[in-house]
């Protein structure tokens, strides 16, 4: 398969929420991470740390995660505000519309609470992807520090590098709510904060939820030109 251009990869990338079990080998993951490491980084601090889980260990982790969900873990227990209090009406409306579109694409109605919970729980199976990744950052560089943006650029570069080779992904902040279980299981030191997970693999073209392609507002809505 021919690799995509940067523009093609950007347009092709979508957050996929159902994957095939087609394996991705370790060498491919390492190569993609090496490409992503060329991401911009202020003062070349490279604040990202990545944990990759595959094979039997991935199945073990998913089992532990689903047990934690079944036990009634607090789904608002991330170490940072994923959706901060005081969000504007615009951002709140976009978030709610996205949820409705996602559940609608999956065929889950507004009043189907069980169906919505099952879709939420699918996060903790990495949507059945063959590779699960976790991204952490030193706490001293996290909240209130610009290094979080640099971690985000690394994650975006990784997704585009993967997409260029026909490998799909889904970044998952949902994993941050299980940080108390995930960090010790992975061996993440207490000095690091879990930011998010990511599913990596080949998406299932027959899964209805993968038909969702979210919209974007026009450039004129978020841009101000001065002197042009």
Where would I find the beta strands (DSSP E) of 22-99?
Answer: 49-54
C-alpha 78: how far from chain center: 14
In this predicted structure, the answer to whether residue 17 has a pLDDT above a threshold of 90 is: yes
**Residue 10 and residue 8: Cα distance in Å, rounded?**
5
**Model confidence at 47: pLDDT above 80:** yes
- pLDDT tens digit sequence for 87-101: 999 999 999 999 999
* Those residues with Cβ within 8 angstroms of residue 83's Cβ, 6 or more apart along the chain or in another chain: 95
Q: How confident is the model over 103-135, as pLDDT tens digits?
A: 999 999 989 989 988 898 999 999 999 999 999
**Share above pLDDT 90 across residues of the chain, in percent, rounded to a whole number:** 83
Residue 76: which pLDDT band, with cuts at 50, 70 and 90? Answer: low
Q: Is the pLDDT of residue 24 over 70?
A: yes
| pLDDT attached to residue 19 | 98
From 147, 212, 171, 174, select the one nearest 65 (Cα to Cα).
174
What does the DSSP 8-state code read for residue 3?
Answer: P
Nearest to 147 by CA among 53, 2, 39: 39
User: Looking at residue 3, what is its pLDDT?
Assistant: 84
Cβ(69)–Cβ(122) under 8 Å? no
Does the structure show a pLDDT above 90 at 2?
no
């Amino acid at each position: 398969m021919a690799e995509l251009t940067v523009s093609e990869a950007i347009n092709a990338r979508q957050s996929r929420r159902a994957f095939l079990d087609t394996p991705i080998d370790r060498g491919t993951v390492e190569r993609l991470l090496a490409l992503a490491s060329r991401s911009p980084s202020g003062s070349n601090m490279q604040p990202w740390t990545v944990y990759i889980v595959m094979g039997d260990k991935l199945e073990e982790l998913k089992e532990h995660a689903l047990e934690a969900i079944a036990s009634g873990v607090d789904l608002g227990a991330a170490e940072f505000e994923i959706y901060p209090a005081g969000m504007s009406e615009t951002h709140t409306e976009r978030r709610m519309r996205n949820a409705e579109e996602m559940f609608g694409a999956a065929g889950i109605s507004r009043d189907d609470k069980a169906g919505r919970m099952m879709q939420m729980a699918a996060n903790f199976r990495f949507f059945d992807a063959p590779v699960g990744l976790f991204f952490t950052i030193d706490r001293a560089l996290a909240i209130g520090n610009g290094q979080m943006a640099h971690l985000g650029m690394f994650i975006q570069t990784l997704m585009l590098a993967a997409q260029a080779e026909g490998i799909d992904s889904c970044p998952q902040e949902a994993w941050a709510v299980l940080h108390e279980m995930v960090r010790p299981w992975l061996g993440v030191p207490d000095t690091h904060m879990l930011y998010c997970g990511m599913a990596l693999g080949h998406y299932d073209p027959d899964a209805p939820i993968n038909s969702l392609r979210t919209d974007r507002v026009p450039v004129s809505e978020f841009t101000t030109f001065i002197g042009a």
